[in-house]
């Protein structure tokens, strides 16, 4: 390290607050801190500013209808179409500009640019095809697709005809697909025959068919994108299976009038993990959600039409829905979409793409940044990254070291970083600095966005003092919020509201949303999110339910009982630790371990694969028989253990500790 670099590192190391670069502030979409006060004074009318970013067919009568909390309605009486907002309205001015720059993983394959004109055409053709298959308004269409352009095309085609989509992450298992299709009563599926991963052509169709086999109701049609061409397995399609390209060709030049949707009509469903084993179908609506993602894309990601903006998430998760597809396209910008992994063919792939496309904003996850850090700064240094104007992170807490590495080695100390806290349920960002306004503090997401009433409270709902740990709550509704859990209003109230609300009240002030995150707040009102306080863990920014993993392990032959916790991991953030008791007559051996790992992969997918399987004769339990998960977490983290005297079986602890330490 040269002396200069060493000095720089030392300075960065000590610095705990960073001002937004003047050059950025000068051009920022939002640069006046008066916005916080204005939004507070004008609440809820302040959210007209978000709705104003959209084209409405019918103007709304009321910004917020809070007559029946927590079933809030936003922009009531208004109607609009999401696909018209993401496509049609840009055609005059931006028809020839790129809407999507798609980069396939094989580096020798041609990338594909979809101009707004081209995207509009294909969305119309596919919308016409879906209609012909019988898809009607409000029919849920499931998508089980990798990162190929046909995924956003299918989403927008559904939005055009008023059919909500439910995208299932392609890395999830066949079982996971079946559960989600069944829960949504979905009779249509769009899928692909495969995708490329680290140079290999991976089959996706066998898994799709296996999943379909597990759906109890009849699935009328399956559309298959031929991603692999000659590398594919050459399946013969059944009657109800159709190739995407043939359908689109049959509808060449078709024009489908966008269906007028009520602001509160469902735009999509997204399944996510919760406390119990069953995934929850989070319902998002057309008016509120689209306003929210458009406004936050503009205010936080500083998106402008002439930008080339890149969010490296997968569209199978909420981040991709909100910030690859809907937010950026509603604003008429260019959204980059990459199929593969950051280390193929080399560890500089992301920087190569930033360089080639002159990417202006990069939005990624802390887990990726920690991997880049581990690989070393020589990879970004091989490329010109000077086109970057803003950096963002999402999905999990970012440690100050990773933040500073990102700031220096990717942003060249001239890009603000937005650390954005939000969830599948919130639809879009909730807590983050405004990049053209606020001081940044590495490790802390920042203050709640203007108009967002987020607080850190104790168990009674009272705000905690600065520096103390508590629970994050959101005390006022917001347009992007989930409206309910699909066909399960009761669970919606139980999971998100019951904890801090007076559930008998009709007064919105008595209703408080609980995201199930722990947090602390400092004297400037900056929130540091500490992580989930429920049975959800966050592996590489992917949200997984420990209960779901446990039930998949208990389903393995020879397993008597299992407890799953998250242990900290220097790249993934958290990793899955599974403590397993085997039944009599079964050996605690490699074969058993493999079957457990396979059981988890089959039920959920490889992302949930346990990092460690620890066999134990007993699990630490309280006298009332509850598993002491906190203790199992401490053991996974090799931390000093707290009081074990309340345990029914304290002796087991040392035993387990030795097994984890010894592995
Ligand atoms: O624990 C919080 C964490 O991710 C959870 C939400 O996961 P999901 O619904 O999959 O959405 C991820 C993408 C928005 C939250 O409850 N989380 C998300 N962003 C942050 C975060 N934790 C700390 N800092 C963040 N910026």
pLDDT digits (tens, 9 = 90+) for 64-106: 999 999 999 999 999 999 999 999 999 999 999 999 999 999 9
Greatest alpha-carbon span in the chain: 73
Q: Is the CB of 424 under 6 A from ligand 1?
A: yes
Cα–Cα distance measured from residue 212 to residue 191, given in angstroms and rounded to the nearest whole number: 11
Is cis: bond before 345, omega within 30 of 0? yes
Q: Is 538 in the pocket of ligand 1 (CB under 6 A)?
A: yes
The label of the residue with tokens 């006060």 reads: 37
Q: What is the C-alpha to C-alpha distance for residues 50 and 265, in angstroms, rounded to an integer?
A: 18
What's the distance, CA 533 to chain centroid? 18
Contact 587, 615 (CB under 8 A): no
146 Cβ neighbours under 8 A, 6+ residues apart = 170, 192, 194, 195, 204, 227, 339
Cα(476)–Cα(456) distance, integer angstroms: 14
The DSSP code for 485 is B
The 8-class DSSP code of residue 608 comes to: G
The pLDDT tens digits of the residues spanning 130-186 come to 999 999 999 999 999 999 999 999 999 999 999 999 999 999 999 999 999 999 999
Q: How far is the CA of 479 from the centre of ligand 1 (A)?
A: 19
Which of 417, 538, 544, 607 has most ligand 1 atoms within 8 Å of CB, for mutation? 538
Give distance in angstroms: CA of 404 to centre of ligand 1: 20
Q: Measure the CA–CA gap between 378 and 381, rounded to whole angstroms.
A: 5
Q: Calculate how far, in angstroms, residue 573's C-alpha sits from the geometric centre of ligand 1.
A: 12
Strand 536-539 to strand 79-80: parallel, antiparallel, or no bridges (unpaired)? unpaired
Give me ligand 1 centre to Cα 606, in Å.
Answer: 20
Q: Is the backbone of residue 411 left (phi > 0), alpha (psi -120 to 50) or beta? A: alpha
Among 26, 100, 591, smallest CA distance to 328 is for 100
Among the atoms of ligand 1, which is closest to the Cα of residue 542? 10
Give the separation between CA 401 and CA 19, rounded to whole angstroms: 17
Domains of the chain: 454-530 (2.30.38.10), 536-662 (3.30.300.30)
Distance CA 219, CA 212 (A): 8
Angle (nearest 5°) at CA 385 between 382 and 387: 155
Strand partners, 143: 167, 190
- Round to whole Å and give the CA distance between 27 and 30: 9
Q: What is the pLDDT of residue 313?
A: 97
Taking the C-alpha atoms of residue 289 and residue 623, their distance in angstroms, rounded to an integer, is 46
Going by alpha carbons, the residue nearest to atom 7 of ligand 1 is: 423
SS3 560: strand
Distance CA 144, CA 37 (A): 43
Residue 437 structure tokens: 């306004």
Report how far residue 414's alpha carbon sits from residue 163's, in angstroms, rounded to the nearest whole number.
43
Give the total residue count for the chain. Answer: 663
Q: Which of 555, 563, 601, 595 is nearest to 579 (CA)?
A: 563
Per residue, what are the HEC states of 128-178?
Answer: HHHHHHCCCCCCCEEEECCCCCHHHHHHHHHHHHCCCEEECCCCCCHHHHH
Q: Which residues contact 101 (CB under 8 A, 6 or more apart)?
A: 111, 113, 308, 334, 335, 336, 337, 357
Counting as low any pLDDT under 50, the low residues of the chain are 1, 663
CA R_g for the chain? 25
Q: What is the pLDDT of residue 279?
A: 87
Q: How far is CA 639 from CA 75, 632, 659, in A?
A: 50, 10, 14
Asked if residue 169 has its Cβ within 6 Å of ligand 1, the reply is no
Q: How many Cβ atoms from other residues are within 10 Å of residue 216's Cβ?
A: 7
CA 494-497-499 angle, 5° bins: 85
The sign one gets for the Cα dihedral 538, 541, 543, 548 is negative
Q: Using an 8 Å Cβ cutoff, are 297 and 303 in contact?
A: yes
Burial class (CB in 10 A: 0-12, 13-18, 19+), 167: buried
**316-334 b/e (C-beta count within 10 Å ≥ 16 → b):** bbbbbbbbbbbbbbbbbbb
Distance CA(387)–CA(308), nearest Å, equals 9
Residue 272 CA to residue 279 CA, distance in Å, equals: 5
- Choosing from 367, 406, 421 the residue with most ligand 1 atoms within 8 A of its CB, the one to mutate for a pocket test is 421
Q: How many CB atoms lie within 10 A of CB 617?
A: 11
Pocket lining: 517 vs ligand 1, CB cutoff 6 Å: yes
CA 504 – CA 287 distance, rounded (Å): 28
Of 273, 395, 403, 572, the residue with max ligand 1 atoms within 8 A of its CB, to mutate for a pocket test, comes to: 395
- Alpha carbon 484 to its chain's center: 18
Rounded to whole angstroms, the Cα distance separating 90 from 248 reads 22
Cα 422 to ligand 1 centroid, rounded to whole Å: 5
Q: 406: which DSSP letter?
A: I
Question: Hey, what's the torsion of the CAs at 40, 64, 486, 432, to 10 degrees?
Answer: -20
Q: Which of 541, 543, 544 to mutate to test the pocket of ligand 1 (most atoms within 8 A of CB)?
A: 543
Q: Is the CB of 543 within 6 Å of ligand 1?
A: yes
Atom of ligand 1 nearest to the CA of 529: 23
Query: Is the shortest distance between the CB of 421 and ligand 1 below 6 Å?
Result: yes
Task: Pick from 316, 322, 406, 423 the residue to mutate for probing ligand 1's pocket: most ligand atoms within 8 Å of its CB.
Answer: 423
């Amino acid at each position: 390290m040269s002396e200069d670099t060493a000095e720089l590192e030392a300075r960065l190391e000590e610095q705990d607050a960073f001002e937004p670069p003047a050059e950025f502030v000068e051009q920022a979409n939002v640069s006046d801190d008066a916005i916080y006060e204005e939004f507070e004074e004008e609440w809820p009318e302040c959210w007209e500013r978000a709705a104003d970013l959209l084209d409405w067919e019918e103007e709304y009568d009321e910004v917020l209808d809070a007559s029946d909390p927590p079933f809030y309605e936003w922009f009531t009486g208004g109607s609009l179409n999401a696909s018209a907002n993401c496509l049609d309205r840009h055609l005059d001015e931006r028809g020839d500009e790129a809407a999507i720059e798609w980069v396939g993983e094989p580096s020798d394959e041609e990338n594909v640019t979809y101009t707004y004109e081209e995207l509009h055409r294909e969305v119309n053709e596919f919308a016409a095809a879906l209609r012909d298959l019988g898809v009607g308004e409000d029919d849920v269409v499931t998508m089980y697709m990798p990162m190929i352009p046909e995924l956003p095309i299918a989403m927008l085609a559904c939005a055009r005809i008023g059919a909500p989509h439910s995208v299932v992450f392609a890395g999830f298992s066949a079982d996971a697909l079946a559960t989600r299709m069944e829960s949504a009563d979905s009779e249509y599926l769009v899928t692909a025959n495969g995708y490329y991963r680290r140079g290999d052509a991976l089959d996706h169709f066998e898994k799709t068919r296996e999943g379909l086999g597990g759906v109890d109701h009849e699935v009328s049609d399956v559309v298959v994108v031929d991603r692999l061409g000659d590398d594919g397995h050459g399946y013969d399609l059944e009657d109800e299976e159709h190739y995407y390209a043939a359908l689109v060709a049959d509808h060449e030049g078709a024009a489908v009038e966008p269906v007028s949707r009520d602001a509160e009509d469902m735009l999509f469903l997204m399944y996510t993990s919760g406390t119990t084993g069953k995934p929850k179908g989070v319902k998002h609506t057309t008016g509120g959600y689209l306003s929210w993602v458009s406004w936050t894309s503009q205010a936080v990601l500083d998106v402008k039409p002439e930008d080339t903006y890149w969010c490296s998430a997968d569209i199978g998760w909420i981040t991709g829905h909100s910030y690859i597809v809907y937010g950026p396209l509603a604003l008429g910008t260019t959204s980059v979409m990459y199929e593969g992994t950051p280390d193929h063919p080399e560890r500089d792939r992301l920087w190569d793409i930033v360089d080639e496309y002159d990417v202006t904003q990069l939005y990624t996850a802390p887990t990726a940044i920690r991997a880049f850090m581990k690989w070393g700064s020589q990879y970004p240094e091989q490329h010109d990254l000077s086109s970057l104007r803003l950096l963002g992170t999402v999905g999990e807490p970012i440690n100050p070291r990773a933040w500073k590495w990102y700031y220096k080695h990717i942003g060249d100390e001239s890009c603000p970083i937005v650390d954005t806290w939000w969830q599948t349920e919130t639809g879009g960002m909730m807590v983050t600095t405004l990049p053209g306004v606020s001081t940044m503090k590495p490790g802390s997401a920042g203050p709640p966005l203007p108009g967002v009433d987020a607080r850190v409270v104790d168990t009674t709902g009272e705000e905690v003092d600065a520096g103390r740990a508590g629970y994050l709550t959101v005390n006022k509704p917001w347009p992007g919020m989930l409206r309910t859990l699909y066909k399960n209003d009761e669970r919606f109230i139980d999971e998100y509201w019951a904890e801090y609300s007076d559930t008998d009240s009709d007064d919105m002030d008595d209703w408080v949303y609980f995201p199930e995150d722990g947090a602390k707040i400092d004297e400037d009102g900056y929130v540091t999110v500490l992580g989930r306080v429920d049975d959800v863990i966050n592996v590489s920014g992917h949200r997984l339910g420990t209960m779901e993993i446990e039930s998949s392990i208990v389903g393995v032959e020879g397993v008597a009982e299992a407890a799953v916790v998250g242990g900290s991991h220097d790249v993934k953030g958290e990793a899955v630790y599974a403590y397993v008791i085997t039944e009599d007559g079964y050996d605690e051996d490699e074969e058993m371990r493999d079957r457990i790992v396979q059981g988890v992969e089959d039920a959920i997918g490889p992302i949930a694969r346990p990092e460690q399987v620890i066999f134990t004769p007993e699990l630490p339990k309280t006298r009332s028989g509850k598993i002491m998960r906190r203790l199992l977490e401490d053991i996974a983290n090799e931390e000093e253990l707290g009081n074990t005297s309340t345990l029914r079986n304290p002796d087991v602890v040392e035993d387990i500790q030795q097994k984890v330490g010894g592995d």
